[in-house]
Amino acid sequence: AQSVAQPEDQVNVAEGNPLTVKCTYSVSGNPYLFWYVQYPNRGLQFLLKYITGDNLVKGSYGFEAEFNKSQTSFHLKKPSALVSDSALYFCAVRDIGRGRRALTFGSGTRLQVQP
């Protein structure tokens, strides 16, 4: 079965510093990987996705993610964090080998950016 792990419940970083939010996955075939962000009292907003091709994917708001097949990871990164980046971040995977449309989400990582 497909699964996603976000090992950190919370990540704290100072404004201006680089940030990384970790995600590892397990699928039976090739994965489609997604990152979403959720602000308080809001739904999930799509940030970026990896389907195939270049392992470094660029997304919204200056975020990027690096796909590493050997480590089965898809970490979210940003070179310089903003206070406004503070939110809940979700990694998700679609196991295309199973032919399912549904996404399996990780438990989420709360990012706190201190001024």
83 contributes a contact to other proteins by CB under 8 A: no
Least spacing, CB of residue 43 vs other proteins, in Å: 4
24 beta partners:
5, 73
Q: In this complex, which beta carbon is closest to other proteins, that of residue 38 or of residue 72?
A: 38
- 51 and 45 Cβ atoms separated by less than 8 Å: no
89 contributes a contact to other proteins by CB under 8 A: no
101 contributes a contact to other proteins by CB under 8 A: yes
Residues 1-40 that bind other proteins (CB under 8 A): 4, 32, 34, 36
Cα-based angle 79, 65, 86 (whole degrees, multiple of 5): 55
56 contributes a contact to other proteins by CB under 8 A: no
Looking up tokens 């994965």, which residue turns up?
Answer: 31
Least spacing, CB of residue 58 vs other proteins, in Å: 15
Q: Where are the alpha helices (DSSP H) in 1-115?
A: none
DSSP string of 2-23? -EEE---SEEEEETTS-EEE--
Residues that bind other proteins (CB under 8 A): 4, 32, 34, 36, 41-46, 49, 51, 90, 94, 96, 99-108
